[in-house]
Amino acid sequence: MQVIAFISGKGGVGKTTLAVNVAVALAQRKKRILLIDLDPQNAQRLHLGMNPEEIAGLTREGISHTSIFDSPFGIQFIPFGRISEAEQEDFEAELKKHPTWVSDGINALNADSFDFVVLDTPPGPTAYLQQALAAANRALVVVLADAASYATIPKITSLVEQYTAGRTDFFGVNLLINQMPIHNKLGHQVRSSLYANYAELMVPIAVHKDPRCRRHLALSDLCSIMNRAARPVWTFKAWPIGCSTASNNDFAVFEIWFLAQTSSSSLFSRSFLPAIT
Ligand SMILES: Nc1ncnc2c1ncn2[C@@H]1O[C@H](COP(=O)(O)OP(=O)(O)OP(=O)(O)O)[C@@H](O)[C@H]1O
Ligand SMILES: [Mg+2]
């Protein structure tokens, strides 16, 4: 079992979108996936067809087999849970007292039950970030190709160092560009700087900005409210068939890179990956 944390210094970069879609894509490859929402926004469930009235989640039931929900997408998930502001404050105070609460919960699950546990977090330095990093074997920092996102990288990578210091089971952090615009000079300049300054950390593919992504989320929100028939942002088809669109293509390459990184007997070398355009 490997634990992967999606983190970011800046909000709205696409952590939830990517975490859900990685999880679904891996499930399509017959990997057993548990997605855990560590974000008080409690939004992940909207991608996964959960009844919006449902209040259950890790804040009430903890991380255990009894708090796991099934989704129609072949993955299982634990929502954050719907709680009041006062309850959230108490919960966060508990997390600060027990920095390995999430890690302990995951370790108490049967390690053979899942191939990957995917953690989604809120942006910036929070108790949830600390918990996620204490549990993670790898972290993916999602960044946009813009100056504001770029500026947050030193802070978030130093938090990763701080919260994973001395851990021999932490295998590293990578930076993944999301929402890469096709025609935007500044975006391309920022991406070049990222590859120049963080070469060894960069995922060798950027996920392009895809307008259908927002439309699908809007649809899934609406669907879950109307009839609980939500669906994840993109519909993945097995690589290489069906990767006809830019973001699906990016994502398929990202998935291959991800599996190569997380596999002990790596089947793919970097040279397999297409050149970045
Ligand atoms: N590749 C993409 N192309 C176009 N839109 C995208 C892409 N990835 C994410 N989005 C959109 O960006 C918005 C923010 O995405 P998301 O909620 O996943 O970000 P987040 O990092 O989880 O945000 P937060 O920090 O608030 O948790 C959503 O409207 C989502 O549909
Ligand atoms: Mg999110």
- Give the pLDDT confidence score for residue 111 in this predicted structure: 75
Cβ contact 37:248 at 8 Å: no
Tokens standing for residue 13: 């970069």
Average of per-residue pLDDT across 188-216? 86
Measured in Å, residue 243 CA sits from the centre of ligand 1 at 21
- Give the pLDDT confidence score for residue 255 in this predicted structure: 85
By most ligand atoms within 8 Å of CB, the mutation choice from 180, 203, 214, 247 for ligand 1 is 214
> Does the beta carbon of 210 lie inside 6 Å of ligand 1?
yes
| For residue 240, cis peptide bond before it (omega within 30 degrees of 0) | yes
Measured in Å, residue 214 CA sits from the centre of ligand 1 at 8
> Does the beta carbon of 209 lie inside 6 Å of ligand 1?
yes
Higher per-residue pLDDT: 265 or 110: 110
- Give the pLDDT confidence score for residue 245 in this predicted structure: 58
Share of the chain above pLDDT 70, in %: 82
What tens digit of pLDDT does each residue of 203-240 get?
A: 998 998 887 665 554 444 433 333 333 444 444 443 33
Going from the C-alpha of 58 to that of each of 69, 81, 194, the distances in angstroms are 11, 6, 36
Ligand number, closest to the Cα atom of 7: 1
To the nearest 5 percent, what fractions of the chain are helix, strand and coil? 45, 15, 40
- Give the pLDDT confidence score for residue 47 in this predicted structure: 82
- Edge-to-edge strand ranges of the sheet holding 116-120: 69-70, 76-78, 33-37, 116-120, 2-7, 138-143, 172-177
Query: Which residues are 173's β-sheet partners?
Result: 139
Average of per-residue pLDDT across 251-269? 71
In which residue are the tokens 């001395």 written?
Answer: 166
pTM of the model: 0.88
Cβ contact 59:87 at 8 Å: yes
Query: In this predicted structure, which of 149-153, 215-219, 272-276 has the lowest mean pLDDT?
Result: 272-276
Share of the chain above pLDDT 90, in %: 61
Beta strand pairing status for 116-120 and 33-37? parallel
- Give the pLDDT confidence score for residue 236 in this predicted structure: 41
Domain 2-263: give its CATH code: 3.40.50.300
Cβ contact 20:42 at 8 Å: no
What tens digit of pLDDT does each residue of 22-72 get?
A: 898 899 889 999 999 999 999 888 888 888 888 899 999 999 999 999 998
Whose Cα sits closest to atom 11 in ligand 1?
214
- Give the pLDDT confidence score for residue 210 in this predicted structure: 80
> Mean pLDDT, the chain, as a whole number?
84
Beta strand pairing status for 138-143 and 172-177? parallel
Ranges of each domain in the chain? 2-263
